[in-house]
Chains A and B, each alone.
Chain A
Amino acid sequence: MVERISLTDMNAGETGTAVEFIGGRGVHNRLCALGIRPGKKITRVNAAFGRGPIIVRVGSTQIALGFGMSYKVIVEVER
């Protein structure tokens, strides 16, 4: 079944679809500029170290997101 979770709750290696971002225009624009947009497939690459950054793969790009920023990215995963 499909679950809506925050990027921080994804497992390393898991793939989901970005659905929305919590936060204002600023956060939205910064994420979009790097290609993380609603509807995009996102794969989490690493397991975070404490509250360290999370790396995701979108298309052929890898992007590092701070823990706080990752928390704002809501994805749908099949579990």
Chain B
Amino acid sequence: MNLRLLQFKSLKSYIPLFSTIAVFFAIYAMGAVLYGLNFISLRVFLNLFLDNAFVGVIAVGMTFVIISGGIDLSVASVVAFVCILAAKLMEVYNMNPFIVMIISLGFGAVLGTTMGSIIYFFKVPDFLVTLVGMFLCRGLAYMVDVRSIPIRNETFVNLNTIAIRFPGGARLPLVAIVFIVVWFMGIYLAHFTRFGRNIYAVGGDEKSANLMGIPVARTKILVYTMSSTFAALGGLLYANYTLSGYAAAVLGLELDAIAAVVIGGTLLTGGVGFVEGTMIGVLILGLIQTLISFQGTLSSWWTKIIIGLLIFWFILLQRFLSRTPKK
């Protein structure tokens, strides 16, 4: 009987994921009805992956943080810092782009580990520590350079030419490929590794996880390490996507990432969530933007209002679903 209850519960926890997929297809169908074949062309679809690659990579890291019961507000600033740092190192100091990449990812890892350690060992609230990280990285980014730096490094620019080509002129460039690889890595990590299960356990109930002998400290800290490293990777993708570094770039990106996670059906209380859903959340956000740009007369502020409403709707859905199974 207990087992049946458990199955029922787990089936229920899939409902947000299904409704996310439903919303995605609904919006896609809406675009198809309004704008016909142009909207459902392969090129538009693949561009979704290119335009939202950096958001997507960050959202994967954010999903794990939220599943573990935390939050990371620093990601957008990390993106800005990494992309301006990479631009400066490559353009002004003529550094090899691959060394720059290693430095960037290393910075992300160190920052994340530091924030995670402060959160865990000093019991400072997570949003505070990551808020400080947000200030710090944005300030560091401005200190690197206040102006925008165009990237002309040949090796780095040429990375753009690596792409999977499809008939009809559609192509999937490296940035989008990285995004999809990270996505599958995230799915693998969440469902098929011990570390992934530990994250779910810690997010579900930290005390019982501790009693079960799960390494809570390591898990909680590593989650932030991962999130910041993915944010640094997102910064590199963004630098490659825009071919420039700008310290004031991607203001408010952390909210887009959190929105994607919420829309994707991850419970904000921790313990329940899907990397798959997050990715569909990212694609939904991208679709809304594509729709608005297809429409042409609607202004960009509608994006914000619609995203806000979508977050609200999915949180309501989660509340409604998670209320009943309690005891």
Chains A and B belong together in one complex: no
Question: Taking beta carbons and an 8 Å cutoff, which residues of A are in contact with B?
Answer: none
Residues of B within 8 A of A (CB): none
